Structure 1
Amino acid sequence: MERNNTTSETWQSSIPLLVHKANNKGPSSSSSSSIPTVLMLTTLVAVLGSYVFGSAVGYSSPSQSGIMHDLNLALAQYSIFGSILTIGAMIGAILSGTVADYVGRRLAMGFAEVFCIFGWVAISFAKDAWWLYVGRLFVGFGIGLLSYVVPVYVAEITPKNLRGGFTTVHQLMICIGMSLTYLMGANLNWRVVSLIGTIPCLVQLLSRPFIPDSPRWLSKVDRVKESDSALQHLRGKNADVYQEATEIREYIETLQQQTEASLVGLFQLQYLKSLTVGVGLMILQQFGGINGIIFYANSIFISAGFSESIGTVAMVVVKIPMTTLGVFLMDKSGRRPLLLVSAVGTCLGCFLAALSFFLQDLHKWKELSPVLALVGVLIYVGSYSIGMGAIPWVIMSEIFPINVKGSAGSFVTFVNWLCSWIVSYAFNFLMSWSSAGTFFIFSGVCGLTVVFVARLVPETKGRTLEQIQASLNSYSTKK
């Protein structure tokens, strides 16, 4: 007990020194305007896992009629197939931090892709519902791992001036995977689409040996020479990485004075603000309705009296450019402004969709209400894509110290998938109760998000991971 108190005092007293050192570093190579080719290629390999994530989420909507017809499934059976993805993802999320900390970020991605490949193949050759369930569960497990490992890995390999934009590419690739799978599902047999789903898995699996592991993880496991070598490789052979490498080592040496935090250990006062921000953003992201709207977009448009094919194409047309815009704005405008704009937009979009269904219930403006529903959904999807889709994952990858990142990241990712399952499972029941009421609830949650971001979420733009984590934990301890 005495040792823990001493360690805690040492940690607290070290924080101001670390922040002072980090804030007073001279200009480093990470602030250079040029982006090393190795860094770009490494990030591209990593975010192939994000594409797999997106394709898995986007698969169920366009494939529904084909799978139900070919395998003679009832709606209840297909609902199990759709929602079991999130069950697998929750299991993967629980283990994600432990796996990533034990074997490293790079091996964890490969481990996840093996499960995804098996899952896609099982779906493609399924002769009955059970093989569909097994395949979907395995794909879910894989993307549960990837949803944590990819943004954390990208955040740990990029310099502070590029970290926001590079980490947001995770969401862009999810968006591209989802959108392309929507389009393929509308034009190709569902078995062919599932086989195509194995291609990015295989590419990442085969490319993984050629990318470096996270310098921060290597330093954490006392592989200091490999950490320095990986950092030099990522920044370019002529870059001066001395300051950045020293800062990483100093911070990790301080953290190693503490034991690795268990799940229970996360709920200490010093981690309270980080945990509140990370968990809060994930809950609000999912309870804002995104997975209900994405999973069941076709049925929403049909209920609103609008063409499902036009609605789906319109979503794709809006989603990709807005997510791309978010990537470019992330390190220019900062996290908080984008989050606030995004949350206001999702609130407005859900309100317009709710108003459309409300007018339908009153049998008024029958010609206008379907268009209003489409406009509302498109505003929602566009606004979500520019901020709420990516930024919670960016912030999650930034705010936790590396000694708790495994357990904290697993917990936050698990909460995200649990909320995702609740929304995707309850969505059809809510729509049966009241379509207008469902979207009014989502609009209210998005309104709460604005308040939460304004009051609690810190700006992390332009700060090193060590600065962010030290200041947050210092703040929590003082409070």
Structure 2
Amino acid sequence: MKTTNKMTEKTMAQVANGKVHEILPEGGEGEETDEGRQAVDEGGGGGGRSREERQDKILPQPTTEIPAQERIPLVVDDGASESSTNHLECKDKNTNAQPDASGQTCCLPKKCCGSPVFSPFCRQLANVLVACLAGLCVGTIHAFPAVSLPRWEEAGFVLTTAQTTWFASTPMVISVLTCWGSGIVVEYLGNRKCLMIGVVSLALSWIVIAIAESFWALLLGRILQGLTASVYMVIITVYPAEVSISCWRGVMTGISEAMVMLGAFLTYLAGISLQPSAIGILFILSLIPMLVAYYFLRDSPLWLARQDKDEEVASTLRCLRGPTIDITEELEQIKDSVATERIQKPSATEQLLLLRKMIYFKPVLLSVLVLLFKELTGQYAAMAYTVKIFKMAGSSLDPYWCAVVMGAARFLPCFTSWILIERLPRRLLICTCMTLASFALGTLGTFLFFWSKKTDGLPPSLGWIPLLCFLVFTLVFGSGIGPTCWTLVAELLPSRVRNVGAGIINTCFSLFLFLVGLSFPFMVEGMGIGLVFITYSACTLSGVVFVLVCLPETKGMSFTEIQTVLTGNKYKISDMA
């Protein structure tokens, strides 16, 4: 049934045969459409009824305004009482007749979105947490070699150095090769479908690893995990920003990294008493509730708008914001943004051509270098080879429990980093943390370099020193280096080349992870464990120099101001204050 924009929200036309009631927009007394008037005058049993008689049949309306896109018809069965909502039916499959916060009846998103008592923050947090369960899976993929490789050695299933490095680094190789296509897949299928397909892929990978009897079977499992991880990384990077409002975006986007670190921590914890095959089975069982949660997840409003699913955009926004929040303005902003993007957004070829200009090339290059120095700290090697490192250090402490402590030290700083990033200048924070990390790595490397030459090994009384150095490094990396580097990348990247630039940056980042993971065992064989960490310490200190000399302070600056500073070469050490 059609309605005009001049009809009042307090007025509703009723068709006698179908008894259709419709929530109408504001506008005073208004007027009826020709179709509505004819339906009422000519309907069986309804002919000749006055306006006052028809008004008696109107259902009560919510006290808060329902945007035009949400005003969905309510259909009442012939024999039903019009005051009852049990027999009301909404045309939109994502809504049903239910009372709003004031107790009035109207078409609202189904109860899977939660009752009206849930605040907008809780609604958005719940959706972000469900989507970021993918980060939990990514964390288990990255940390699994740390506990599986030592267990296989203890059981007599020994891999060569080359096989060890490929097992640990294969997901990163896959990410390098597929990160461009991953974004296209997510854009085509949507977050929800990709997450559900990823669960099936992960289940297959863990089954293959659990029953594997050869290196090639293990490698096949890791390839499947790399494919899934590359798609999941796109989702946990984009989805939290697209479903949250601006004032909570910083917290929501930080959840993804926290979930990755939590996945690593849980993997280390499982490795204390379980064999790799049992860990794989445990992860398979954990995927079942994830699949159920993903089934009820809402796709992001921006993605739905890009797919021209206008009705679902409105119902999803209502679900994320709550039935008492007016979504009209935000809905129009989303539609305008998508329309503008379609008109003005440069193609991939045009973005590549823009990179010939220094104003676009320089920020992309600086972003790549920021991530390079981030990975030259050796953090991925520390994650993938945690247990082996403590065994090589000769520590008297249980290496598996040391890995658990390291996992906790990676996870907990994710929450403090949100506060530090908001309160401290970017360069001050990252330089301070890199200096502390360099000192911790240098101390660890020097200690291991001298003690590795002694034949009697590390005394039990000094076994805590490697753990303490690693703990300091992990805490400062999680509190400042990791999150601040990604914040700088997001702020430096120009919007006109954001898609292609992000593809280049993610490709380089995956390549850096692969090279660090691949080179670590060979470096230990050639240089010794002590000199490896001294090298990481020197690279980290070089990162401090790079930040001071090449990067501007971006805290509190708009994207336009950042680009102005970059093109004007106005880099001052005094900006750190």
TM-score range, shorter chain: 0.7 to 0.9
Identify the range of structure 1 (186-195 vs 236-245) with the bigger mean alpha-carbon deviation. Answer: 236-245
Q: Structure 1 residues 405, 142: CA separation in 2 closer, same or farther (over 3 Å shift)?
A: farther
Partner of 2:32: none
Which one-letter code corresponds to 2:364 in the other structure? Answer: L
One-letter code aligned to 1:44: L
Answer yes or no: is 1:456 the counterpart of 2:551.
Answer: yes
Segment drifting more, 401-410 vs 372-381: 401-410
Q: Is 1:323 the counterpart of 2:323 in the alignment?
A: no
Distance 2:552 2:188 in 1: 30
2:142 is the counterpart of 1:57: yes
Is 1:44–2:138 an aligned residue pair?
A: no
Instruction: Give the C-alpha shift of residue 460 in structure 1.
Output: 5.9
Q: Relative contact order (alpha carbons < 8 A, sep ≥ 6): 1 or 2 greater?
A: 1
Q: Deviations over 1:119-170 (max 9, x none)?
A: 1121112232221110111112211221232122112222222222221211
Using structure 1 for the length normalisation, give the TM-score.
0.80
SS of match in other structure, 2:344: coil
Of the structure 1 ranges 101-110 and 396-405, higher mean CA displacement relative to structure 2 is found in 396-405
Deviation at 1:39, TM superposition (A): 0.4
Match of 2:265 among 179, 193, 196: 179
Residues matched between the structures, number: 441
Q: Distance in 1 between matches of 2:287 and 2:295?
A: 14
Is residue 504 of structure 2 the alignment partner of residue 411 of structure 1? yes
1:24-60, Cα deviation, whole Å (9 max, x unpaired): xxxxxxxxxx652220111111110110011111111
Match for residue 260 of structure 1? Answer: 347
Query: Aligned residue for 2:219?
Result: 133
Which digits, 9 at most, give the CA deviation of each residue in 1:55-87, with x for residues without a partner? Answer: 111111211233346573433334432222322
- 8 Å contact from structure 1 (residues 165, 329) kept in 2: no
Name the amino acid aligned to 2:222: R
Seq. identity, %: 22
Structure number with greater Rg is 2
Which residue number in structure 1 is paired with residue 245 of structure 2? 159
The one-letter amino acid of 1:272's match is F
Q: How does 1:146-295 map to 2 (within 5 A)?
A: 146-223=232-309, 226-255=312-341, 256-262=343-349, 264-265=352-353, 267-269=355-357, 270-295=359-384
In structure 2, relative to structure 1, the CA distance for the partners of 1:236 and 1:115 (3 Å cut) is same
Structure 1: tracts of 5 or more residues without a match: 1-33
Maintained 8 Å contact 2:552/2:566: no
- Return closer, same or farther for 1:477/1:344 CA change in 2, 3 Å cut-off: closer
**Cα distance, 1:453 vs. partner?**
4.2
CA 1:40–1:440 in 2, change beyond 3 Å: closer, same or farther? same
Q: Aligned with 1:95: secondary structure?
A: helix
Out of 206, 217, 235, the position equivalent to 1:120 is: 206
What letter corresponds to residue 104 of structure 1 in structure 2? Answer: G
Provide the alpha-carbon RMSD of the alignment.
3.3
Letter of the 1:212 counterpart: R
SS class of match (1:187)? coil
Q: Which residue of 2 aligns with 1:435?
A: 529
Please tell me the residue identity of whatever aligns with 2:122: T
User: Which 10-residue stretch deviates more, 439-448 or 142-151?
Assistant: 439-448
Alignment of 1:2-13 (within 5 A): none
Distance in 1 separating the partners of 2:561 and 2:272: 49
Structure 1 residue 96 displacement after superposition: 1.9
Cα distance in 2, alignment partners of residues 209 and 407 from structure 1: 31
Whether the 8 Å CA contact 2:352–2:500 is kept in 1: the answer is: no
Q: Using the TM superposition, name which of 68-77 and 425-434 deviates more.
A: 68-77
Gaps of 5+ in 2: 1-118, 570-577
Secondary structure at the aligned position of 1:390 is classed as helix
Aligned residue type for 1:264: L
Secondary structure in 1 matching 2:325: coil
TM-score, length-normalised on structure 2? 0.68
Distance 1:114 1:140 in 2: 14
- Could you say if the C-alpha distance between residues 474 and 120 of structure 1 is closer, same or farther in structure 2, counting changes exceeding 3 Å? farther
Contact 2:491 2:554 in 1 (8 A): no
1:326-475 → structure 2 map (5 Å cutoff): 326-333=417-424, 338-360=429-451, 370-394=463-487, 396=489, 404-432=497-525, 433-454=527-548, 455-456=550-551, 459=554, 468=559
Letter in 2 for 1:456: L
Shift of 1:175: 1.2
SS at match of 2:345: coil
Asked if the contact 1:100–1:406 (Cα under 8 Å) also holds between the matched residues in 2, the reply is no
Q: Is the partner of 1:188 in helix, strand or coil?
A: coil
1:383 deviation in Å? 1.1
Q: Answer whether contact 2:436 2:476 (CA < 8 A) is retained.
A: yes
Which moves more between the two structures, 295-304 or 187-196? 295-304
Is 1:72 aligned to 2:157, yes or no? yes
Q: 1 or 2, which has the higher helix percentage?
A: 1
Residue of structure 2 aligned with 1:301, choices 374, 380, 390:
390
Change in CA separation of 1:37 and 1:396 when aligned onto 2, cut-off 3 Å: same
> Cα offset for 1:442?
1.4
